[in-house]
């Protein structure tokens, strides 16, 4: 008899099939890439450039800092490519009220993907009350986003967590209604790893997506992450990754783009 703890067929995510579909064409691969520009010195010109690239390739979204949401939404109007934005970034230690306020404002401006940073210090404090506070911190953002037809990816910052904390953080995020579990901000001590993606997928099953972010710079990196169970990848090297699959010469592509 099968153990009641064993996942049913409907709960098991088929990473092999998902990966095969993603790599069946550059267009399909682009559809799982969040084209990202989150560096603090990003300029208006650079934001407009990633929006142009996102529209040209059909990326899953153009991910920007909150100050650029209005610009990105206007630039992508009519393209079908949504704007993603980070909340409580990169530390996750802002007030829950501040996260909700920030979320409400970017949603009003037209953001669709909301990537929020979990309160890492509260999680690691490890009391029942702290765990509940972490969940409510996430839930406050999720309720606003879902009310506006947007989605939420919760950044766990896995490089700062123990194995047990990654499991706890994943379950808290899912119970709060998160649409994706996301590994990293890219601003801490490490980024996405294959082991962490596999772990988050083992918890999420088919309940939510898993986003690999931080250090994904090549087609080989993307292949490894999708194979481990990721369904979304955040990368500033999205164009390079898609061009690798398409067999486009990188130096020629860079020259054409004016890099």
Residue of 166, 182, 196, 221 marked catalytic? 182
Buried b vs exposed e over 125-138: b needs ≥16 C-beta within 10 Å? eeeeeebebbbebb
Residue of 34, 113, 115, 196 marked catalytic? 115
User: How many angstroms separate the CA atoms of 240 and 233, rounded?
Assistant: 13
Q: Is 115 a residue of the active site?
A: yes
- At 253, list the tokens: 């592509």
User: How many angstroms separate the CA atoms of 184 and 7, rounded?
Assistant: 27
Q: Is 39 a residue of the active site?
A: no
Q: Is 182 a residue of the active site?
A: yes
Residue of 99, 137, 211, 221 marked catalytic? 211
Active site residues: 115, 182, 211
């Amino acid at each position: 008899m099968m153990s009641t703890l064993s996942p049913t067929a409907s709960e098991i995510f088929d990473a092999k099939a998902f990966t095969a579909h993603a790599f069946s064409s550059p267009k399909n691969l682009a559809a799982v890439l969040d084209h990202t520009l989150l560096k603090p010195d990003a300029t208006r010109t650079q934001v407009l450039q990633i929006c142009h690239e996102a529209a040209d390739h059909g990326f899953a979204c153009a991910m920007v800092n909150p100050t650029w949401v209005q610009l990105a939404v206007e630039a992508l109007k009519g393209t079908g490519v949504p704007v993603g934005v980070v909340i409580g970034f990169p530390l996750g230690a802002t007030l829950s009220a501040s996260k909700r306020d920030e979320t409400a404002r970017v949603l009003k401006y037209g953001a669709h993907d909301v990537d929020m940073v979990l309160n890492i210090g509260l999680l690691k404090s490890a009391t029942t009350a702290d765990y509940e506070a972490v969940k409510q911190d996430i839930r406050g953002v999720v309720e606003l986003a879902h009310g506006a037809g947007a989605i939420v990816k919760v950044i766990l910052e896995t490089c700062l967590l123990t194995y047990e904390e990654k499991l706890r953080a994943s379950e808290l995020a899912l119970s709060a209604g998160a649409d994706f579990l996301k590994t990293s901000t890219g601003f801490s001590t490490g980024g996405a790893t294959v082991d962490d993606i596999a772990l988050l997928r083992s918890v999420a099953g088919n309940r939510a997506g898993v986003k690999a972010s931080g250090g994904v710079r090549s087609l080989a990196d993307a292949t490894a992450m999708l194979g481990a169970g990721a369904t979304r990848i955040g990368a500033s090297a999205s164009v390079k990754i898609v061009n690798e699959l398409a067999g486009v010469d990188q130096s020629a592509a860079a020259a054409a783009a004016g890099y």
